[in-house]
Structure formats: structure tokens, C-alpha cells
Amino acid sequence: MKRLVCVLLMLVAGRLGAADFDYRLTAVQVAKDVYAFIGKTEDFSTDNGGNIVNTAFIVAAQGVIVIDSGPSLRYGQQMRRAIASVTAKPIALVINTHHHPDHFLGNQAFADVPIAALAETRNGIAADGNAFAENLYRMSGDWMKGTEVQLPGKTLSAGIVDVAGRRLRLVALDGHTGADLVVVDPASGVVFAGDLAFNGRAPTTPHADVAHWLLALEQLEGLTREAGFKVLLPGHGAPTADAAPIRQTRAWLTWLSGAMRAAAKDGLDMNDVLARPLPAEFASLPVAASEYRRSVGHLFPAAELQALGAKP
């Protein structure tokens, strides 16, 4: 009887936990009037609900500027409540830095305010958004309940913009995806790097052009050398007061692309490449093994074609 009671209690606790769906978002102040929600350095799962991403907001004179809206409707709703606990100012604008689902599937919770992105990001969300949402349903389960794609309605371009009385500098780059927006807030000295920079987590590469990404990292690092720089917020991992996430991302990409080229040149097949161990430098990096396997699938076929084309 006692055993039966314990089993029933465990089942009830499991159901309560599943019904909780609380991301427990905590706004971390990274600079004056700038806050971030720091995600876990994990893969998507039914435990974390996709809370593996950094999102942020700036409290401007006339309203709040949100940078990326998270992986689900629930996340976006909880993000809005967390923002309201910091400031009573209205949301003035939501910016999507790129078209990966953990950065825009919370848009639905902000459907009553302007949402903006680069033109290619808007096109990417329109083309791939529903497939991305379905994939996250498979990986994160009922955390995604009710989530639908909300397209950005405004197009951004590189340059200086004034939003809610706040002067922002928008830098349009690419490499992680076909369009990666970096947002610079001169008033606070914060550079919002999106997924061009990862810190303490292996980078993802499903839409990567590694050569372009490496060039983008040079430009991004240049922003950290400018007067007034104080904080770099990567798309994943802890914020820093230096360019460490850029250097870490560059080291991973340089090794990864070199390993793909060398393996293709040596005539290895994909199974051989998948079986290779990670270098000691990266072996303990969170999700390095799984991201390496995915990156082989993303990048090795092109390396093989390049190797074949280089042969006489």
C-alpha cells in the first residue's frame, strides 16, 4: 500500500511539473537600463522548453525595446510579464536578430506592437517559420502549445535609428544565417551580438556560411574595440565585458571548417568523420558532441564537393 501511494504521488508530481510550464525568467541587469534573460547552454528539450537562448530589453525614455522574443508563445508571454515587473513603460518595438526559431517564436505574444527585422530575416521567417515551429513541438513538447508564427511587420536596415527616444546603431552582417543583425546601444555600451557569438556553448550551423561568419566576427570584434563598449551579449551563454565569446566562436569555426576540409581531402566518408573525437580544447564545451555531429551533416557534403572539384 505504501509503495502504491508513493507511485501515485510521483505520478501527480510529474503531472504538476508538466503543467507548470514556467520558464522562471529572471531579468538580469547587464548595464544601465539594459536587461537580459540568460538561457541554458543546452539542446532543446521537454525539460527546458527551448529556454536555451538569450533575449533582452532596453528601457528607453519612451518605451521598451525588446531584442528577440524567445522560442514559444509561453516564453513571450512570460517575458512580457517579467518586463512589466521591471518597468511600467509600454513595449515600443520588438527586434528579431535572425530567423532561427528560438529568437522569434515568441513574437506572437507581442502581436499588438511593432515587430521588425532585416528583409532577409523576414523572408526566412515567412519561408521556414512553420517548419521550425513544428520541429520545436517535436523537441520541446507542450511548452509550445498555442505557438504560431508571427511575422515581423517592419523592415530594418543598417544604420542609426531612433526608437522610443533611444539612439541605436544597427549593423547588418551574415554568416550564422543569411542575415544576422547586431544591435549596438551607445548609451549603455552594450553590443547585442545575436547568434554570431556563442559563449560556453558550441555554435549551431544549420544555415552557416563559415567563411562569411568568420568575416562577420572580425567586424563584431571591431565593435568591442570602439570607445564606450562595455558589454557583449551573445545569443547563447553569459554576457562578457570583453570579446571572449567572439574568440571562442572563431576558434570553434576555424577548427570545424579545417577538419571538414582535411577529412574530405583524405577521402573519408561521413561515418568516419562522425566517429572522430573532439579536440581537447572543445571536448568539455556544452553540447559540443551533438553540435559537431549536426555540423558534419551541414558542412561535410560541401567540403566533399570542394575536394572533388580541386582534383585534377
Q: Is 199 exposed, middle or buried (0-12, 13-18, 19+ CB in 10 A)?
A: buried
pLDDT in tens, 197-222: 999 999 999 999 999 999 999 999 99
- In the block, cell 551607445 appears at 186
pLDDT of residue 310: 58
272-286 residues labelled b (16+ CB within 10 A) or e (exposed) = ebeeeeeeeebeebb
- The x, y and z cell numbers of residue 240, run together, are 562578457
Q: How many CB atoms lie within 10 A of CB 37?
A: 23
Domain 23-243 has what CATH class?
A: alpha beta
pLDDT of residue 12: 39
Per-10-residue mean pLDDT for the chain, 312 residues long?
39 46 98 98 97 98 98 98 98 98 98 98 98 96 97 98 98 98 98 98 98 98 97 98 98 98 96 96 97 97 88 44
Contact yes or no for 44/50 (Cβ under 8 A): yes
Task: Compute the half-sphere exposure of residue 98: CA atoms within 13 Å on the CB side of its CA.
Answer: 26
pLDDT in tens, 230-281: 999 999 999 999 999 999 999 999 999 999 999 999 999 999 999 999 999 9
